[in-house]
Amino acid sequence: MKRILFANVLIVALSVFFVAGSVFGLSEVYKNNIYDPGMLKPTDSVLKVKVGDQSPDFSLPAVQGGNVTLSQFRGKKNVVLSFIPAAWTPVCSDQWPGYNIAKPIFDKYDAILLGISADNIPTLFAWTNQMGELWFPVLSDFWPHGALASKLGILRSNGTTERATFIIDKQGIIRYIDVHDINERPPLEDIVKELEKLK
């Protein structure tokens, strides 16, 4: 701090290195295209699965093309499912860009990340394009609407999903569930801590 005081000019760069937890710190990249729903009921669903359960298999269309099926990773990769409630909303718009620079962490723990929302493919395409190139598949649980979210018990009463993270091991067993307060972004270290346990 002493060195800084001796300087003539201090440049303070305010940025979101990872992800923001609300409309605060929202990236300028999105300009005025982010719809702020205000504070929402933290959670609005009842889980239908629990840690230790075999995860239901699913196959969902990806923004990048084709379908991604959970069982294709069986015996090969740990799988992190990151459900975000809706495209073009504040917290979600900073959550995945944060994961996008954390690929080495997922690689370290032999994990793949699957980003999922109940938005349709065109919406997810336009929205994720603002984030630059994502290294992980972005999947649409749009039709039948929120079918996977409903099976897991994280479909909210308005048709969006919870802000939820599931970690599924290579045997297809659910090892971690975090149905987070929808208004807040889960910190990266929560995922890291759980992936560490799978080693």
Partner 1 sequence: MYQIIESNQDTKGKIKLIGIGAGNSPFEVNYFQETYQIPFPLFDDKNYDIHEMLGMVRTPYFFVVKINKDGTHKLTYTQLGGFKTAEDFLDLILKESGLR
Tell me the closest approach of the beta carbon of residue 186 to partner 1, in angstroms.
10
- Spatial CA neighbour of 191 closest among 18, 14, 17: 18
Instruction: Please pick, from the candidates 84, 160, 185, 194, the single residue that binds partner 1 as defined by CB under 8 A.
Output: 185
Cα–Cα distance for residue pair 51/132, rounded to 1 Å: 34
Pairing, β 59-61 against β 67-69: antiparallel
Task: Using DSSP, state whether 126 is helix, strand or coil.
Answer: helix
Q: Where do we find the tokens 């929808």?
A: 182
Does 38 contact partner 1 by CB under 8 A? Answer: no
Tell me the closest approach of the beta carbon of residue 133 to partner 1, in angstroms.
17
Instruction: Please pick, from the candidates 2, 9, 52, 133, the single residue that binds partner 1 as defined by CB under 8 A.
Output: 9
Stretch that binds partner 1, among 72-80, 118-126, 146-154, 181-189 (CB under 8 A): 181-189
Query: Which residues between 89 and 128 bind partner 1 (CB under 8 A)?
Result: 94, 98, 101-102, 104-105
Residue count, binding to partner 1 (CB under 8 A): 36
Does 14 contact partner 1 by CB under 8 A? Answer: yes
Tell me the closest approach of the beta carbon of residue 192 to partner 1, in angstroms.
7
Sheet holding 138-140, edge to edge: 138-140, 111-117, 78-83, 163-168, 174-180
* CA-to-CA separations, 120 to 62, 117, 158, 186, 195, in angstroms, rounded: 10, 8, 15, 24, 29
Spatial contact of 92 and 184, defined as CB atoms under 8 Å apart: no
Does 199 contact partner 1 by CB under 8 A? Answer: no
Catalytically active residues are: 92
- Spatial CA neighbour of 178 closest among 136, 56, 188: 188
Does 130 contact partner 1 by CB under 8 A? Answer: no
Cβ closest to partner 1, residue 53 vs residue 190: 190
Residue 80 pairs with which residues in a beta bridge?
113, 167
Token digits of residue 172 = 């297809």
Tell me the closest approach of the beta carbon of residue 128 to partner 1, in angstroms.
19
Does 21 contact partner 1 by CB under 8 A? Answer: yes
Tell me the closest approach of the beta carbon of residue 29 to partner 1, in angstroms.
9
- Residues binding partner 1 (CB under 8 A): 3-22, 24-28, 94, 98, 101-102, 104-105, 185, 187-189, 192
